Amino acid sequence: MKKTIQANQLKVGMYVHLEKAWFQHPFLSSSFRIESEKQIAKIVDRGIQSVIIDPEKSIIPKERIKSTADSRKLTGQKQESADTLPPSKEQLQIHQAMEEIVHDRKIPSEEKARVVQEMSIVMMNNLMEKPTAANIQQVKKTIAKIVDLIIHNNSITSHLVQITSHDFNTYAHSVTVGLLGVSLSKVLFWNSDKHDLHELGAGFFLHDIGKVRVDAAIINKPGKLTEEEMDIIRKHPSFGYQVLRDTDQLTDECKEITLQHHERNDGSGYPRRLRGNDIHLYAKICAIADVYEALTAERPYKLPMKPFEALRLMKTEMSHHFQKDLFDRFVLLFANG
């Protein structure tokens, strides 16, 4: 349960929510974990007197972890393996490399967008091979870096939305959908502090995580799928929801992205044939990016569509699948690019 405390009572490790929009304070997001005493000083200096903290997202300081471990030893209690498993070495390396690239001012925007996209594909490939709780947690941190880059750099955003994938694998698809989903959320939610773009970014990147539980032969089948195979594919949103529930690293809202990203506004989607307002706003955003990527990406059995052609097809023949105002805003991303 969240609680309000005085800003001067803040401690490193606490997950804090500032009641101001992100552009009204010197932090990248209104919700974040306090990493240093400097950040606390910044909050206090800014004249912010009280803050909301989320104990569930706060990290227990090292002394307490140690004393918990000691008391477990004493009581003979077993530690849960998911807590103790570290993220893979590859994920740590990707995170470090991503951090360096994001902060390197010498790299031109276009080049940066390309490298971030390529590195993200490696990250998602690795994650889908080992979707453990620790890896999901690590990937979330890397995605947060990408989200910050998109939030603060408009020219990166315009380069990122131009990128279309030439790979036809799930991880390249996930990256494009992730980047487009964050870019659309940025413009939709720019003046609101009710949406945590870091969490949301993780939700978009991981929307197809359920495909790890579908036979790879079906996922990678180059030709048309049989009805039976389609039925199996249609289970991936529910599988994804289960993966995220079992690993428990994303918010409930992000789990809804995974579960509902194939629902359509007119009720013709799957798995639950939800319609209109019954579909979560975040899942609707994801659905637009998802269909756009599927149309513009190259596949063994079809030629890729040009961005303009894909947007026109979505508008003329699929408009009832999407919420109109969200789709219109999505189209504008390309006009600005």
Q: Binding residues for Fe ion, per CB under 5 A?
A: 208, 290
Closest contact distance (angstroms) between CB of 330 and Fe ion is 15
* Residue 159 or 261 with smaller CB distance to Fe ion: 261
- According to DSSP H, which parts of 190-323 are helical? 197-205, 216-219, 227-233, 236-247, 252-260, 281-296, 307-317
Measured between alpha carbons, how far is 93 from 104 in angstroms, rounded to an integer? Answer: 17
Q: Which is nearer to Fe ion, 199 or 208 (CB)?
A: 208
Nearer to Fe ion by Cβ, of 171 and 189: the residue is 171
| CB 236, min distance to Fe ion, A | 6
Q: Which is nearer to Fe ion, 31 or 120 (CB)?
A: 120
Q: Give the nearest distance from C-beta 262 to Fe ion in angstroms.
A: 6
How is 85-131 classified by DSSP, letter by letter? PPPPHHHHHHHHHHHHHHH-TTS-HHHHHHHHHHHHHHHHHHHHHS-
d(CA 285, CA 289): 7
**Distance (Å, rounded) from C-alpha 113 to C-alpha 159?**
6
By beta-carbon proximity to Fe ion, the closer residue of 199 and 290 is 290
Q: What is the C-alpha separation between 40 and 48, in angstroms, rounded?
A: 10
8 A C-beta contact, residue 141 and residue 151: no
Min CB(287)–Fe ion separation in Å: 9
Minimum distance from residue 212 beta carbon to Fe ion (Å): 12
Residue with tokens 């009720």: 267
